[in-house]
Amino acid sequence: MKLGAIEAGGTKFICGIGDEDGKVMERISIPTTTPDETIGQVLEFFRSKEINAMGIGSFGPVDLDKNSDTYGYITSTPKPHWAQCNLVGEIQKHIQVPVAFDTDVNAAALGEMEWGAAKGLDSCIYMTVGTGIGVGAITEGKLLHGLTHPEMGHILVRRHPEDSFAGNCPYHRDCLEGMAAGPALEKRWGQKGIELADRPEVWELQAYYLAQALVNYILILSPKKMVIGGGVMKQEHLFPMVRQQVISQLNGYVQRSQLTEDNIENYIVPPALGDNAGLCGALALAKTLKS
Amino acid sequence: MKLGAIEAGGTKFICGIGDEDGKVMERISIPTTTPDETIGQVLEFFRSKEINAMGIGSFGPVDLDKNSDTYGYITSTPKPHWAQCNLVGEIQKHIQVPVAFDTDVNAAALGEMEWGAAKGLDSCIYMTVGTGIGVGAITEGKLLHGLTHPEMGHILVRRHPEDSFAGNCPYHRDCLEGMAAGPALEKRWGQKGIELADRPEVWELQAYYLAQALVNYILILSPKKMVIGGGVMKQEHLFPMVRQQVISQLNGYVQRSQLTEDNIENYIVPPALGDNAGLCGALALAKTLKS
């Protein structure tokens, strides 16, 4: 079975052809400009590829309600040209195969469960910390949806007592994304994260906010694995700091071996699929159409 | 089919006999003293009742992992005599029927979905605000479990700028339960909640913390209904205040009709099963054993 996969991001669309084992045979990266132009190039790539099914993991917010008139749309994004874009519809107009559609982070969570860090488990979260903060989740073996898809990047966090940065989320100002996404880092410290690598105070603060979010995800979702990727997490020294803060903030309340000093490095982990997490996630979505 | 139900609480055990339609034919309340005494009286009640299955919703933390040696135990509770109590085992020793076991709040969530405020939906949360704060959840049609059962009452919240109360959670001090459960109310204001009914500043603050928790639950779980019960919520004027705060704290970020001024009173609601939510929840658990 030949599967098509699209990781639809705000900067680029990554398209690929793969199989049910998560093997990617071919891939291409297309800049995200206007829907006409970008989707046009996507269609060009898939033309004559003879795929059997397609998975799309997209930046959001997206409409995932199959009973809705705008199912398959990117909805209220501030990204110019893309609000109310009928992404699934435009693709299905030209490629007549079944399409599975979800958020980029839900797709990545599914990919990590199928072939990556959460293999064999029935729950996990996948968090990306980059231009924004997004989180996808699997609970009881299923991708988590409800009223809409989760928007966990915007949870309310308590401010670090020594942090006077106002926060830059246009909706909530100092929510998690407003305090800890890449642009918040840059605005607070006046330099990009990558240029701040040797300043421990930057990463202590960053770990404080990320850990606080993870603690709340643990208390609410109780996932069996937490996978964290995205540009900001390329600062690998962040991982041990975040793990330490999670243990200290939980303060022994949840008594599971995964949450101990000895084991937490196998609980809070980078994506096993690395930069392929998103594309493989879209493949994993396509694979769900088989059953 | 005759179903047995136990709502095992820290103050009392409510036992009942009911049917698959949630109808309770008989009920009894037994004070929670020592396991020997209390469970002895529970067994006495069920003797000769000839039930076909039993559901137990219990105060926690409990071990719900069927592969664990301590499955069915109340585990690390600070409640004297009850830590490491083999609740399910003791009952099954004497009553040879299948037993479904979960937290009291997960049971109540299931009851509200089966026969109450969340009927017909595939997701909801049930929150109780009383001596402690507990929350159960259903996502994608299933009771939410993971590494363990959720412990959402202990999420970290941001302090109200005018609130100097230190918080009284022994683990986290100023987590949600430490700031907003009944004992926190009493300690902060020097009187029981019921005696503070006419002091608006008490409930403004209370609504602030509860709404903050609900906002984070919405962003993380995206439930289709939020049911809130427990002693503190008997102050019915709290509901409109909490709803208002939820709208204001979300600030339009999640665009669903349920979260608008016009509809939120049907989204954040008291239990339709009232004080029977726990017992009916245990019945609903028992009912799951049928399939």
Q: Identify whether residues B189 and B255 lie together within a single domain.
A: yes
**A114 domain-assigned:** no
Alpha carbon of residue B19 to chain centroid: 22
Q: Identify whether residues B125 and B229 lie together within a single domain.
A: yes
Taking each continuous run of H as one helix and of E as one strand, the counts in chain A are 8, 10
Cross-chain residue pair A150–B258, CB shorter than 8 Å: no
Pick B146's closest partner by Cβ from A145, A223, A259: A223
What is the DSSP secondary-structure string of B51-117? -SEEEEEE-SSB---TTSTTTT-B-S--STTTTTB-HHHHHHHH--S-EEEEEHHHHHHHHHHHHST
Cross-chain residue pair B156–A158, CB shorter than 8 Å: yes
B284 pLDDT more than 70: yes
Q: Identify whether residues A75 and A167 lie together within a single domain.
A: no
A61 pLDDT more than 70: yes
Q: Considering only CA atoms, which of A174, A155, B200 is closest in space to residue A188? A: A174
Q: Identify whether residues A142 and A249 lie together within a single domain.
A: yes
pLDDT of residue B255: 87
Tokens representing B187?
């300690």
Residue range A54-80: mean pLDDT, rounded: 93
**B183 domain-assigned:** yes
Residue range A165-182: mean pLDDT, rounded: 96
CA pair distance A157, A184, nearest whole angstrom: 14
Count of domains for chain B: 2
Residue B36's alpha-carbon distances to A160, A189, B16, B28, B40, in angstroms, are 47, 61, 19, 18, 6
Supply the range of the domain harboring residue B76: 3-107+275-287
Q: Identify whether residues A124 and A257 lie together within a single domain.
A: yes
Pick A154's closest partner by Cβ from B75, B156, B219: B219
Residue entry with tokens 């001596």: B131
CA pair distance A282, A3, nearest whole angstrom: 9
Q: Which ranges of chain A does DSSP label H, i.e. alpha helix?
A: 35-46, 87-94, 104-115, 176-180, 182-189, 200-221, 238-250, 277-288
| CA contacts within 13 A on the Cβ side of A48 | 1
> Nearest 5°: phi and psi at B203?
-85, -25
Q: CATH code at B147?
A: 3.30.420.40
Q: How many CB pairs under 8 A join A and B?
A: 139
Q: Identify whether residues B97 and B131 lie together within a single domain.
A: no
pLDDT of residue A255: 87
Residue entry with tokens 């642009």: A183
CA pair distance B86, B63, nearest whole angstrom: 10
**A186 domain-assigned:** yes
Per-residue b/e over B5-19, b at no fewer than 16 CB within 10 Å?
bbbbbbeebbbbbbe
Q: Identify whether residues A33 and A173 lie together within a single domain.
A: no
CA pair distance B63, B79, nearest whole angstrom: 16
CA pair distance B153, B213, nearest whole angstrom: 8
**B223 domain-assigned:** yes
Q: Considering only CA atoms, which of A235, A237, A259 is closest in space to residue A249? A: A259
CA pair distance A265, A206, nearest whole angstrom: 18
Residue B215: CB atoms within 10 A of its CB come to: 25
In A, residues 167-226, which contact B (CB 8 Å cutoff)?
Answer: 171-172, 212, 215-224
Best of A220, A225, A245, A258 to disrupt the B interface (most B CBs within 10 Å) is A220
Q: Identify whether residues A131 and A86 lie together within a single domain.
A: no
Cross-chain residue pair B142–A146, CB shorter than 8 Å: no
Q: Identify whether residues A80 and A126 lie together within a single domain.
A: no
Condensed to tens digits (0 to 9), the pLDDT of residues A202-228 reads 999 999 999 999 999 999 999 999 999
Tokens representing A40?
């046009």
State the smallest CA–CA distance between residue A24 and chain B in angstroms. Answer: 30
- Whole-number average pLDDT of chain A: 95
**A78 domain-assigned:** yes
Condensed to tens digits (0 to 9), the pLDDT of residues B131-178 reads 999 999 999 999 999 999 999 999 999 999 999 999 999 999 999 999
User: Looking at the complex, does the CB of residue B78 fall below 8 Å from at least one CB of chain A?
Assistant: no
Identify any residues that bridge with B31 across adjacent strands, giving them in sequence order: B12
Residue range A229-234: mean pLDDT, rounded: 95
User: How many Å from the N-terminal Cα to the C-terminal Cα in chain B?
Assistant: 13
- Where does the pLDDT of residue A76 fall: very low under 50, low under 70, confident under 90, or very high at 90 and above? confident
Contact B264, B220 (CB under 8 A): no
Cross-chain residue pair B158–A156, CB shorter than 8 Å: yes
Identify any residues that bridge with A255 across adjacent strands, giving them in sequence order: none
| CA contacts within 13 A on the Cβ side of A13 | 25
Residue range A146-152: mean pLDDT, rounded: 94
Identify any residues that bridge with A243 across adjacent strands, giving them in sequence order: none
In A, residues 1-60, which contact B (CB 8 Å cutoff)?
Answer: none
User: Looking at the complex, does the CB of residue B287 fall below 8 Å from at least one CB of chain A?
Assistant: no
User: How many Å from the N-terminal Cα to the C-terminal Cα in chain A?
Assistant: 13
Beta pairing, strands B3-8 & B24-31: unpaired
Residue entry with tokens 């986290």: B172
B291 pLDDT more than 60: no
CA pair distance B75, B87, nearest whole angstrom: 10
Pick A140's closest partner by Cβ from B139, B151, B219: B139
Tokens representing B74?
């109340």
User: Looking at the complex, does the CB of residue B75 fall below 8 Å from at least one CB of chain A?
Assistant: yes
A108 pLDDT more than 80: yes
- Where does the pLDDT of residue B76 fall: very low under 50, low under 70, confident under 90, or very high at 90 and above? confident
**B24 domain-assigned:** yes
Best of A135, A222, A224 to disrupt the B interface (most B CBs within 10 Å) is A222
CA pair distance B228, A143, nearest whole angstrom: 25
**B112 domain-assigned:** no
Which residue of chain A has the CA closest to B172?
A251
Residue range A166-179: mean pLDDT, rounded: 95
> Nearest 5°: phi and psi at A34?
-110, 160
User: Looking at the complex, does the CB of residue B134 fall below 8 Å from at least one CB of chain A?
Assistant: no
Pick B156's closest partner by Cβ from A146, A216, A256: A216
Residue range A185-196: mean pLDDT, rounded: 94
Tokens representing A123?
């729950």
Q: Identify whether residues B266 and B283 lie together within a single domain.
A: no
CA pair distance B82, B89, nearest whole angstrom: 14
CA pair distance A205, A176, nearest whole angstrom: 12
Q: Identify whether residues A250 and A193 lie together within a single domain.
A: yes
Q: What DSSP state is assigned to residue B159?
A: P
Q: Identify whether residues A124 and A266 lie together within a single domain.
A: yes
**Strands of A12-18's sheet, edge to edge?**
A24-31, A12-18, A3-8, A53-58, A99-103
Condensed to tens digits (0 to 9), the pLDDT of residues B228-275 reads 999 999 999 999 999 999 999 999 889 899 999 999 999 999 999 998
**A113 domain-assigned:** no
- Asked, as a colleague might, if the bond just before A61 is cis with ω within 30 of 0, I would say yes
Q: What DSSP state is assigned to residue A65?
A: -
CA pair distance A241, A15, nearest whole angstrom: 34
pLDDT of residue B96: 93
CA pair distance B7, B26, nearest whole angstrom: 14
pLDDT of residue A291: 52
User: Looking at the complex, does the CB of residue A133 fall below 8 Å from at least one CB of chain B?
Assistant: no
